[in-house]
Structure 1
Amino acid sequence: MLTLGNGPLSMHPPQRVNYRLDGPAHKLMMTPFPRRVRAILGGETVLDTRDGQLLYESALLPQLYVPEVDIRLDLMHPTDHTTHCPFKGDASYWTIRVGDRAADNAVWGYPQPNPAATWLAGYRAFYWDRLDAWFDEDEEVFGHLRDPYTRVDVVASSRHIRVLAGDRVIVETSAPKVLSETGLPNRYYLPRDAVGADLLERSDTSMYCPYKGRSTYWSLRVGDELIPDVAWSYEQPLRDAGDVAGHLCFLHDRLVIEADGSPPA
């Protein structure tokens, strides 16, 4: 990912390069999103754009900005709320009203952006979770748009993986799947049948990843103790993560995870 970890627009970019990026430590970059995006509230399409722009900003996830000509401005009502960003300027806010539905301060923009970000004028951004549904072309998407600069790869491995709770080996396998996701450490997904069925209990916790799908969490039974949310799985992963179906990824401060006898890099 460009803006997080050690990405080129992050606060800690890679040092082994043969180029120099001049400018502030906090960087902004606006670039076109390559597909049509729509969003709906109360049955009304409040934005429909083929010219959306992703704003990349150091230490933040990319944010979609929509040209005002592609927004139902008749549904937007200005409010007194304002915020200040030292890099972009003073933001104005709008509430969306559709019938008896109101999404308060759900939209913001920079009518008079800072000189270094004049290209923000004429665009507005939306809080994702304050609208009912978002569509990337005709596919409904959740969480946020998938960043074109982020990818997920899953490959088979023969690394010897052990997961321990204290001195007890919870799972041991030499057939993990390695999931690599831009800007994040590798994660080892282990075959579910390598874990004793009596050790894991399904948790109520669930999260959504725009790149992998909706996760199911699992708690670990060790004697009389239940350690919550020690592992997660994707029961119906999205396309790029399809090969981790039927696998579990363990991560918890009560566990030790070894890859070929050492902690994973």
Structure 2
Amino acid sequence: MTLTLSQGPLSATPPSSVNYDLTGPAHRLFLQEFPRRVRAVVNGETVVDTRRGALLHETGLLPQLYVPAEDVRRELLAPSYHTTWCPFKGRASYWSIRVGDRRTPNVVWSYPRPRTEAAWLRDLLALYWDAADAWFDEEEQVHGHLRDPYHRVDVRRSGRHVRVLVDDTPVAETTTPMLLSETGLPNRYYLPSTDVRRKALSESATRSVCPYKGTATYWSFTAGGRQVQDVAWSYPDPLESALKARGHLCFPHETRRVTVEVDGEPLR
């Protein structure tokens, strides 16, 4: 995400605070080796098993794993007449996956005759993430997408004074938040649960998955007959990069009807 989104150097709006110019097309491609074993499992069968994968970083998109054709179970693939055209990579050919009684159409693709400037894509195949039941990075199952080596999460103890209001009702206040910085995203303040009015919050059914932080649980606000959905989230069992945020709640300041003040100033 770092290179291709937000203001990364391969994004559509790269930063101006540099002493160099990037020449070439506005839509940029960068293929980089992914140095670990990756497997994709469909209906109990390993369809992809590679130690030679590479991530394609492409402007405006999350990195996509491409693997040598030899690392895909070709006997589980059925050719398709479906094609798509990319002005930067060329025409893509597709395959469906057939495993047992399950057929998933048009989920594997390649560029058999890629454009000259992307000739290194020849003989590589890609698989849509959602087409697999499980993905493994070495022996660990990963969710959401493979981690981008240029994306980072840091959590630090902070002494900032953070106050949270929902519909002008105070909900939380602390001087011991955890400050979570994540590449390309605004800083987030995670407040200790002991400094949150937990009786005003109830767990919602909403969940989200972050490959860098884990699975988030969401909380809604209820008071005086009013309810505001999903005003906060927490990571009950965070991944290693967000371990210090365990037991803390984050109130995103962009949420309508939520105000987060840091040292007396509302976040914008």
TM-score, normalised with respect to structure 1: 0.97
For structure 2, the residue ranges without an aligned partner over 5 or more in a row are none
Q: How far apart are residue 14 of structure 1 and its match?
A: 1.2
Matches of 2:185 and 2:168, distance apart in 1: 28
Q: How far apart are residue 264 of structure 1 and its match?
A: 3.3
Matches of 1:181 and 1:167, distance apart in 2: 28
Partner of 2:95: 94
The question of whether the paired residues in 2 share the 8 Å contact of 1:28 and 1:58 is answered with yes
- Which residue identity does 1:50 align to in structure 2? R
The question of whether the paired residues in 1 share the 8 Å contact of 2:259 and 2:267 is answered with no
- 1:240-259 Cα distance to aligned partner (Å, 9 max, x none): 10000000011211111111
Matches of 2:122 and 2:220, distance apart in 1: 49
Partner of 1:11: 12
Matches of 2:223 and 2:87, distance apart in 1: 50
Give SS of 1:171's match.
strand
- 1:34-60 Cα distance to aligned partner (Å, 9 max, x none): 101011112211111111010000111
The question of whether the paired residues in 2 share the 8 Å contact of 1:160 and 1:174 is answered with yes
The question of whether the paired residues in 2 share the 8 Å contact of 1:103 and 1:131 is answered with no
Matches of 1:166 and 1:101, distance apart in 2: 49
Partner of 1:60: 61
Q: 1:263 aligns with which of 252, 263, 266?
A: 266
Matches of 1:166 and 1:197, distance apart in 2: 16
- 1:189-226 Cα distance to aligned partner (Å, 9 max, x none): 11111111210000000011000000000000121011
Partner of 2:257: 254
TM-score, normalised with respect to structure 2: 0.96
- Which residue identity does 2:219 align to in structure 1? W
Q: How far apart are residue 166 of structure 1 and its match?
A: 3.1
Matches of 1:205 and 1:35, distance apart in 2: 32
Count of matched residue positions in the alignment of Structure 1 and Structure 2: 265
Q: How far apart are residue 61 of structure 1 and its match?
A: 0.4
For structure 1, the residue ranges without an aligned partner over 5 or more in a row are none
- Which residue identity does 2:53 align to in structure 1? G
Partner of 2:205: 204
For residues 26-65 of structure 1, the aligned pairs below 5 Å read 26-65=27-66
Partner of 1:233: 234
- Which residue identity does 1:139 align to in structure 2? E
User: Over the residues paired in the alignment, what is the CA RMSD in angstroms?
Assistant: 1.0
Give SS of 2:103's match.
strand
Matches of 1:78 and 1:88, distance apart in 2: 20
Give SS of 1:111's match.
coil
Identity of aligned residues (%): 58
